[in-house]
């Protein structure tokens, strides 16, 4: 009798259409090599994601996890660290027997990024596992390292031939974490470097927001329903607000954050990607190339307002109260220089010059130490003329809204007017809510689960192309140039940003939605 704990990859039904995306997708035998395996990202996200994929039966039987870091560790030391990280962060129930099977396929290679011998050893390990573990030469290299280390690691992969599909006898892919440069010029330099080592289709630029279920649901909401498409345009939409708010400060990221700021850290990637999904046209087919083509069209159609002083606002938090606790201001955070002019809040008004969206303002904002953690997209529709009603009948009625909540309460809210019970005619706002957690019994996978699986499958749908990254920098670079040398406005921790951001919308006769 077979061991019930052994997880076999699901077998596809030969009678079903191979294009059916409901089929369980299991990669070919392969290795995942993580550079910077001892860092926060690997410990908190990547290692738990590997365990969760294994727990769900979505990793091949012949799968190898290889860690690379500057530690004097044995395979056993690495396994102990990986086990604790996976157990602490796993989304699925922890099963020691299940981990033991995965742990048998774990290896560690010590060394620094400029150590030729260490990379020669890594190459030898992968060659050895091609035979001993049946990975067939397939490997994905995850660069969980500072961008400054990308060049030396990529050159080492090139020198040893580990990036060469032909030499390896299988596929070789690379995963690049954001930020993708610090401006358009550096982004192009990074893209040229990566593309010089790996073929374009083997480069996966990861934006973890695109792995979230509610972000992917934007496509389903828009293109699987006839209800929304007729009103998804400037004839009916008054404005669009995209908010990504965090209640935390910068933590231990001062070295990175003070050189980056809110616009480069969040607007350039996460928020503009959300804008592209909201604004894109329907793709001709549900494929990576078709979807990314439509997103690029939107990003290239973005225009900035002529008056950036009034419609591009940045701020920096000062001491304040948040959730009943006194918190430090940005300049008092550990390792932040006292005269820092780095913004922790950014808000901007953009236009999309297409037939669908001409005349509809897109208001984007992001910030730290705001009242609560929330990411949402709010589509505000134009008000009806209310010809049958008197002004007093509808004075408490606002705009119809469609709110897509990306986090933390994943779901969709539709806000519309309804008559208040009673003898009087009075119309007020009511809301209909869809919550992922209440509607579906299966918990949503973490973003890194989906993205890691897609890398191993070679599915690039959720990964931005060079052109997307560069088009995003075309939007952000003029903002950074405008803000250069200007002191950011101040806002107290626990507030929704500086007052100037409120004035930005007030000039247009609008207000920010309070999540």
* Interhelix angle 272-279/288-300, nearest 10 degrees: 100
- Of all residues in the chain, what percent are helix, strand and coil, respectively (each to 5)? 40, 20, 40
- Find residue 35's DSSP bridge partners: 68, 143
Contact assessment for residue 165 and residue 202, using Cβ atoms and an 8 Å cutoff? yes
Residues 6+ apart with CB under 8 A from 476: 183, 263, 264, 267, 268
* H helices, E strands: number in the chain: 18, 18
Locate 401 and state its tokens. Answer: 């809204």
End-to-end CA distance of the chain: 55
Residue whose C-alpha is closest to residue 241's, from 2, 56, 404: 404
H or E segment to which residue 154 belongs: helix 150-159
Locate 40 and state its tokens. Answer: 């926060």
Helix (H, G, I), strand (E, B) or coil at 241: strand
Helix (H, G, I), strand (E, B) or coil at 173: strand
Residue whose C-alpha is closest to residue 503's, from 324, 372, 310, 245: 310
Strands (E) across 70-213 are located at: 106-110, 139-143, 172-177, 203-206
Contact assessment for residue 109 and residue 66, using Cβ atoms and an 8 Å cutoff? yes
DSSP state of 9: P
Pairing of strands 106-110, 63-69: parallel
Which residue has tokens 């890594």?
122
User: Measured between alpha carbons, how far is 168 from 424 in angstroms, rounded to an integer?
Assistant: 77
- Give residue 500's region: left, alpha or beta (phi > 0; psi -120 to 50): alpha
Contact assessment for residue 109 and residue 122, using Cβ atoms and an 8 Å cutoff? yes
How crowded is residue 245: how many other Cβ atoms within 10 Å of its Cβ?
A: 20
DSSP state of 148: G
Residue among 133, 208, 270, 399 flagged as catalytic:
270
Locate 165 and state its tokens. Answer: 């599909």
- Find residue 106's DSSP bridge partners: 65
> Residue 270 catalytic?
yes
CA angle 426, 432, 433 (to 5 degrees): 150
Which residue has tokens 């890194």?
448
Residue whose C-alpha is closest to residue 352's, from 298, 311, 296: 298
Active site residues: 270
């Amino acid at each position: 009798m077979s061991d019930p704990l052994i997880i076999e990859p699901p077998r596809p039904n030969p009678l079903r259409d191979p294009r059916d995306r409901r089929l369980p997708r299991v990669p070919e035998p392969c290795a995942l090599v993580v550079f910077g395996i001892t860092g926060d990202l690997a410990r908190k996200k990547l290692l738990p994601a590997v365990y969760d994929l294994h727990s769900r039966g979505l990793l091949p039987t012949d799968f190898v996890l290889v860690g690379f870091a500057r530690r004097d560790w044995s395979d056993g030391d690495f396994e102990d660290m990986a086990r604790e990280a996976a157990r602490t962060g796993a989304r699925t129930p922890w099963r020691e027997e299940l981990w033991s099977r995965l742990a048998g396929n774990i290896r560690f290679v010590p060394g620094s990024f400029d150590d030729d011998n260490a990379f020669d050893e890594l190459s030898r390990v992968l060659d050895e596992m091609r035979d001993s573990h049946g990975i067939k030469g397939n490997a994905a290299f995850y660069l969980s390292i500072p961008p400054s280390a990308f060049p030396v690691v990529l050159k080492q992969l090139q020198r040893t031939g580990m990036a060469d599909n032909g030499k390896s006898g299988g596929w070789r892919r690379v995963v690049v974490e954001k930020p993708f440069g610090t401006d358009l010029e550096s982004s192009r330099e990074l893209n040229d470097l990566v593309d010089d080592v790996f073929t374009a289709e083997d480069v996966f630029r990861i934006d973890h927001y695109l792995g979230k279920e509610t972000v992917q649901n934007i496509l389903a909401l828009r293109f699987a329903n006839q209800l929304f498409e007729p009103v998804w345009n400037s004839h009916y939409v008054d404005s669009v607000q995209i908010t990504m708010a965090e209640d935390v400060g910068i933590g231990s990221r001062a070295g990175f954050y003070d050189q980056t700021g809110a616009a480069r850290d969040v607007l350039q990637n996460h928020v503009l990607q959300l804008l592209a999904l909201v604004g894109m046209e329907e793709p001709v087919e549900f494929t990576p190339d078709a979807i990314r083509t439509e997103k690029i069209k939107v990003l290239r159609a973005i225009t900035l307002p002529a008056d950036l002083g009034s419609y591009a606002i940045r701020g920096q938090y000062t001491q304040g109260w948040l959730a009943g606790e006194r918190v430090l201001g940005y300049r008092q955070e550990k390792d932040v220089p006292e005269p820092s002019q780095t913004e922790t809040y950014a808000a901007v008004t953009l236009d999309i010059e297409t037939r669908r969206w001409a005349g509809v303002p897109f208001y984007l904002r992001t910030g730290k130490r705001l009242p609560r953690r929330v990411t949402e997209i709010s589509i505000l529709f134009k008000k009806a003329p209310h010809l049958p009603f008197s002004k007093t009948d509808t004075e408490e009625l606002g705009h119809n809204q469609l709110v897509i909540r990306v986090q933390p309460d994943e779901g969709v809210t539709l806000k519309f007017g309804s008559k208040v019970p009673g003898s009087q005619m009075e119309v007020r706002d009511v809301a209909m809510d869809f919550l992922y957690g209440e509607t579906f019994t299966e918990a949503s996978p973490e973003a890194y689960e989906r993205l890691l699986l897609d890398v191993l499958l070679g599915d690039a749908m959720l990964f931005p192309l060079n052109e997307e990254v560069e088009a995003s920098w075309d939007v952000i670079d003029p903002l950074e140039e405008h803000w250069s040398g200007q002191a950011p406005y101040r806002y107290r921790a626990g507030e929704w940003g500086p007052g100037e951001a409120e004035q930005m919308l007030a000039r247009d006769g609008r207000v920010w939605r309070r999540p």
